[in-house]
Structure 1
């Protein structure tokens, strides 16, 4: 009788949503028919009181899930939803980008999904991102280091709930701002294993795309990048180098000559789209789409709603596809299908830049050095038309690690065509550019990025 009572209490505890919970999702609104892959959604509570509830989407590998690696995927920001990485970058479904007509956006299969070769947990981190939420005001505040600790807790709890993946190789992966936290998370997992934390995680390395690392490298690389891409004149470039001493971030306020040249630089780049310098600048689909959601059910002429604000992206813009995610994720039927807890998140945002967050890892370089000494593998890739985190800065911090080159700079090919350039180092780090890609690379070059991942996962040369 006592055991039955304990079991009853445990069932009540799980049912209350305090413990980790997950659901299998076979159908989602907007996609015709049953999903041809295994999707699971759920929450994992982290920290001692579990006041932070992290939401995730898990998609089992469509290849060999018993042996394929497990990726923990973190989208950047900080504050950009994992759903953005799933739908626009590496997941098995994406939106059919057609002009909005008032109905729920249509989802179609992505033929270049990374789930062909890996199982992926897309996590809404840090708290306040996507559908993740805090149950107290104090718990809503996060930092880089808090996110690192919570990611380690999340992964260990998730694996306890999914013990069939304990033997799979694990990679911590993500892009953009997550380049700051991913090496620290990998080190945290590694240290936890050595300290005997349960369950042990079979971590093998990490993957970073278009990722930040250190502002002195990332931001200072924008001037030589702009010059190399023909965006500024030789004369301005030389004047900037001479007057600023190649330090373009922490400028002495008394250095008026450098400041004037920086003003000329910024004015010269006005009107360029930094995520991909060849694409047009478009309206940013955030946060005004909530107005559409309010009016969608009230107006028969929803097409006009999109045109009343000149800052809304138009159908020819890449960011128009982002707009569809607000409409889709804000729909009640979608939230029910995903098992979103009622009342937890009022307004979903693709990128919530308003979360209370403190950046307290100024540089990730020391973590890369630590992981290199431990022998972990790493794949670092950059879209070569990204001016948010230029590939020149990424190359510079990799050089600062001071590891010897094993396979020197060379092109890598997809379907007989140059897909980018690559170099490998003695610390088991592979660097690759993705030709023609922006911030972030899989969104622009999905076929090439899948080929890159497949070869790297299989420990083949790119």
Structure 2
């Protein structure tokens, strides 16, 4: 086995030069005692011209790391840190949501982590996300194509330094806007395999949650979803359907259509689009840096001198889910934390959960062709949706899946966890599984962690949901 891995490493080195630095983290500030799992952090150079490096958190499977799948996890935004995915969604750590008193926020072990069944790389990408950085400003001017290409380069470089995982089943994964990028990365890997550069990469497929497609279905599906959920009236729905027929709702050209969409936007703005049943806590200040600058917070007087603060986000009500988002900011901008994570000094002055200050070109092009290319070659796909997400409604996701024109292997049925309905699922002849997560919002594992862990455990084991 060792000789096989050596040969694989040599093959990879023939095509790629490695530029990786990493550290093993055994303790984290805010967590009591040693970490009960293997955590590694590090950097990989992905843009030599502009000095761009991706930062990552790697957590080994808590089950059988030598055999379990390897998941590359991308977080959406674009430019939300993968640390969100780690501590808010699928990782083995959670913040204690307690009123902030100026001390370091506390972390606890999260039992419903996906690392129970998989090795997971949480990747800060594209450049400018989390602790990923570029030494030249031009490196931050990115788009869908450069993000996916640099992610592909990262993965190859990372596997050069971690050859023990080359033979593990590989899945590219992510949610929200990353749902648009994941199939692009998987297709880039497939192209590399076809070119003979990475014939030994064990790509098995991809998985995406409440995913953006980049097509008009994302926005257009919000209208019927709002009508079905009782958010807009019959009259507004019917008028929108008549006046906007054939239109892309993102760029309406007919005045009557634009007027209807303005009325719709008013209703949309009144509720929490991430989960229509949860309280609206105002804009996510940590996800919109421009809004944060308009508000001051009295918590600044409690800060210790070893914090990198510019304009800390104000705390919402303690009962708001977004309260934990602000705790991330205070934790990640602490010098002691940065030292433990081995963050390169002078690279990121202020860590943001989501950084929307840097340029990013979001194309309107749909990624459906990438799905088709992968599925037609037999790769597996899991597409899941929290069914109370208003941003990317499950009905729109179901619509574009239907457009792939694959026959149904198993029609709409319930799937269960602990004897209770956890959602509904369909499977298709192209190896695609679609699943709703009942009661979940935009980032489904954040709302229904046990159900989503069960879902991923069954799916990666090739078992029915």
Q: Give the TM-score of the pair, scaled to structure 2.
A: 0.90
1:66–1:293 CA distance, 2 compared to 1 (3 A): farther
| 1: CA distance, partners of 2:93 / 2:102 | 21
- Partner residue in 2 for 1:461: 464
The reply on whether 1:220 has 2:223 as its aligned counterpart is no
1:34–1:265 CA distance, 2 compared to 1 (3 A): same
| 1: CA distance, partners of 2:392 / 2:298 | 32
Please tell me whether the aligned partners of residues 89 and 449 of structure 2 are also in contact (alpha carbons under 8 angstroms): yes
- Partner residue in 1 for 2:409: 406
- Partner residue in 2 for 1:278: 277
The alpha-carbon deviation at position 199 of structure 1 amounts to 7.4
| 2: CA distance, partners of 1:248 / 1:359 | 16
- Mean alpha-carbon deviation: is it higher for 274-283 or for 112-121? 274-283
Gap runs ≥5 in structure 2? 1-17, 306-310
Mapping for residues 59-458 of structure 1, pairs under 5 Å: 59-198=59-198, 200-245=200-245, 247=247, 249=249, 252-253=252-253, 255-283=254-282, 284-286=284-286, 287=289, 288=292, 295-297=301-303, 312-360=315-363, 362-458=365-461
- Partner residue in 1 for 2:7: none
| 2: CA distance, partners of 1:250 / 1:111 | 40
| 1: CA distance, partners of 2:315 / 2:426 | 40
1:227–1:447 CA distance, 2 compared to 1 (3 A): same
| 1: CA distance, partners of 2:33 / 2:252 | 61
The alpha-carbon deviation at position 259 of structure 1 amounts to 2.4
| 1: CA distance, partners of 2:93 / 2:199 | 31
Q: Deviations over 1:307-362 (max 9, x none)?
A: xx9x6311010000001000000010000000000111000000001122112462
1:67–1:47 CA distance, 2 compared to 1 (3 A): same
Mapping for residues 15-94 of structure 1, pairs under 5 Å: 19-49=19-49, 51-94=51-94
Please tell me whether the aligned partners of residues 180 and 361 of structure 1 are also in contact (alpha carbons under 8 angstroms): no
Q: Deviations over 1:292-321 (max 9, x none)?
A: 78543369xxxxx99xx9x63110100000
Secondary structure at 2:279's aligned position in 1? coil
Please tell me whether the aligned partners of residues 293 and 330 of structure 1 are also in contact (alpha carbons under 8 angstroms): no
- Mean alpha-carbon deviation: is it higher for 49-58 or for 142-151? 49-58
- Partner residue in 2 for 1:15: none
Q: Give the TM-score of the pair, scaled to structure 1.
A: 0.91
Gap runs ≥5 in structure 1? 1-17, 300-304
Please tell me whether the aligned partners of residues 244 and 251 of structure 1 are also in contact (alpha carbons under 8 angstroms): no
Please tell me whether the aligned partners of residues 54 and 127 of structure 2 are also in contact (alpha carbons under 8 angstroms): yes
| 2: CA distance, partners of 1:146 / 1:215 | 19
CA-based RMSD = 2.0
- Mean alpha-carbon deviation: is it higher for 419-428 or for 268-277? 268-277
| 2: CA distance, partners of 1:60 / 1:293 | 36
Aligned residues: 436
Please tell me whether the aligned partners of residues 331 and 337 of structure 2 are also in contact (alpha carbons under 8 angstroms): yes
| 2: CA distance, partners of 1:250 / 1:109 | 41
1:459–1:335 CA distance, 2 compared to 1 (3 A): same
Please tell me whether the aligned partners of residues 214 and 364 of structure 2 are also in contact (alpha carbons under 8 angstroms): no
| 1: CA distance, partners of 2:177 / 2:298 | 29
1:107–1:251 CA distance, 2 compared to 1 (3 A): closer
| 2: CA distance, partners of 1:20 / 1:452 | 33
Please tell me whether the aligned partners of residues 19 and 157 of structure 2 are also in contact (alpha carbons under 8 angstroms): no
| 2: CA distance, partners of 1:292 / 1:156 | 46
- Mean alpha-carbon deviation: is it higher for 20-29 or for 361-370? 361-370
